[in-house]
Chain A
Amino acid sequence: MRTFENTVCSFCGSLCDDIVLEVEDNVITKARGGCAISRRKFLSAIDSEAPLVDGKEVKFDEAINAAVEILAKARHPLIYGLSSTSSEAQAAAVKLGETLGASVDSTSSVCHGPGTVAKQLVGLPTCTLGEVKNRADVVVFWGCNPVEAHPRHFSRYSVQAKGLLREQGRRDRKVIAVDVRRTATARIADIFLQVAPNEDFQVLTALRAVINGNELREETFGGISPEEIQDVCDVLQSAEYGVFFFGMGLTMTQGTHHNVRQALSLVRDLNRKTAFGVIPMRGHGNVAGTETVLAWQTGYPFGINFSRGYPRYSPGEFTVTDLLSRREVDAALIVASDPAATLPARSANYLGEIPTIVIDPYYSATAKLARVFLPSAPVGVAASGTVYRMDQVPLPLRKVIDSKYPSDHDILLAIDKGVTACSASKEALSMIL
């Protein structure tokens, strides 16, 4: 038996790096220290189905060739997913996208994409989770529910965590929750603002008005009274070091990036009075890495198109929901993601009408409607790589067991090599003819 200490769990954006794994005969037999989701993730990590083409088992090389053939023929292919794989694989996917002249989008467009658009407009006065743990005395959770979505966030970083200047953990912190629902996170908060559905923008605007010295003249703002707004402003302004976490409750509701623009502007306003940071509560383990890698390789974080030979950026045009709903792509390569289970059915169903290729360690709902399924070694279990935490801190993933399949990264490179060879032979043929 081998024991691996301080292993990183890559399920969610918290990337807990203190997991202890016990491995016996190439099987993870125990996973200690993580949350309930993490334990299931590690203990369910086994090789899944064989490579498939049209539902029939084939050799791995045959599946690669089928994928190459589909992508080389396509006029406008889509590469999508990427948020649950390594940054090395993400970079390989961008390279393939460039080779193909494809659209490249990540799950960011259906989670924090609008927040990223807002970040481009306002900037992100941010900090690391280490600073949150050591310094924060006021913590805001707006439209996010870490108790259920990031189960160890409170104890490792933001609420109960004991830090250098917050030795008493929870007792040293004021917690404010804002949500439509009285969630498990709202129930532990000192102050809870129950905002009306789709009216976060009004509440944020009222908070900014008070912070900037204006009087409130309406009776209610998104279901919140002026007195409640004033109370929250008093707490925010009295912070020695405040942190604002936000989630899908801002990015997915009416107003999308306008909500986040207002939230980031509020944090900017607060920084004129005290120290305040903001961190998007990222969901997938490496969705922060997707944006980072795409931005450093192409200049843009998601919703990218290479059809003119250079990258163009257009959320609403080159983003997955729009491309599928408008039936604008004629082939799709899905990497470490399951859009058939996560996108609106009216968009996702189109993946069953076009040749779709899935690279994933698990036989997903999308794999069921794909023409080609390429099983891969699960990253962070049977493949190493780099992932970015929600505060943009990169962490290394370890390989603790062997898989009979290659990593996402190696599969993407093999497809790129095949497509490049295919294009070169076509070019040579056209010159002869």
Chain B
Amino acid sequence: MAFIKEVHAILITGRTLRQGIGVAEGKDSDVYREETSQVELSAGSMAKLGLKHGDRVEVSTDSGVETFLCRPGDLPDNVVFVPYGPPANRLTLNTTEGSGMPGFKGIPCRVRRVIDEDI
């Protein structure tokens, strides 16, 4: 079966319970590192890209590129979600359009599967 190489989506970053536990335990903790290095995709997007839970994906925005482990999330096909943390912040936008608020949600992004040759 042929898979699509890349999908265009909207990136949303946000809080999760495990990310909050990681903040309380310490940002060097395993729970914080693990949680902030995951991206959630819809079942449809995962199928299109030929991904299974735990596969590596690359997410890129105008700010940068970051690699995550993917997991299924209850999301529309055009939305991907990453918990708040340093990996997410290599993708968020530092422009505030005069509001003081950087781009943490609703960011256009591209998502592609990382294949062995990329490593």
Please give the residue numbers on chain A whose beta carbons come within 8 Å of chain B beta carbons, in ascending order. 11-12, 36-38, 40-41, 44, 105, 109-110, 113-114, 117, 145, 147-149, 151, 180-183, 194, 197-198, 248-249, 251-254, 256-257, 283, 302-303, 315-316, 319-322, 324-325, 338, 340-348, 362, 364-365
Contacts and interface: CB of A to CB of B under 8 A. Distances in A.
Given A11-B24, A364-B27, A344 B79 contact: no
A37 B27 contact: no
Given A37-B20, A114-B101, A182-B74, A341 B106 contact: no
A254 B10 CA distance: 12
A251 B89 contact: no
Interface string B89-119: 1101111111111111110000000000000
Given A109-B101, A151-B17, A347-B102, 14 more contacts: A37-B20, A44-B26, A148-B17, A181-B81, A182-B75, A197-B12, A316-B97, A321-B94, A321-B102, A322-B96, A344-B63, A344-B93, A344-B102, A345-B63
Nearest to B90: A345
Main secondary structure on B side of the interface with A: loop
A36 B78 CA distance: 32
Contacts of A180: 12, 75-76, 79
A325 B101 contact: no
Nearest to A320: B100
Nearest to A324: B94
Interface residues of B, number: 42
B104 to A, nearest CB: 5
A346 B63 contact: yes
B25 interface: yes
10 contacts: A114-B101, A147-B17, A149-B17, A182-B74, A198-B106, A251-B101, A252-B105, A257-B99, A315-B99, A319-B100
B54 interface: no
Interface of B: 10, 12, 14-17, 20-21, 23-27, 63-64, 73-76, 78-79, 81, 84-86, 89-90, 92-106
Contacts of A345: 63-64, 86, 89-90, 92
B20 A148 contact: yes
Given A254-B106, A344-B103, A316 B26 contact: no
Contact of B10 (A198, A319, A340): A198
Contacts of B15: 145, 148-149, 248, 283
A36 B99 contact: no
Nearest to A48: B26
Given A181-B74, A252-B101, A254-B106, A319 B96 contact: yes
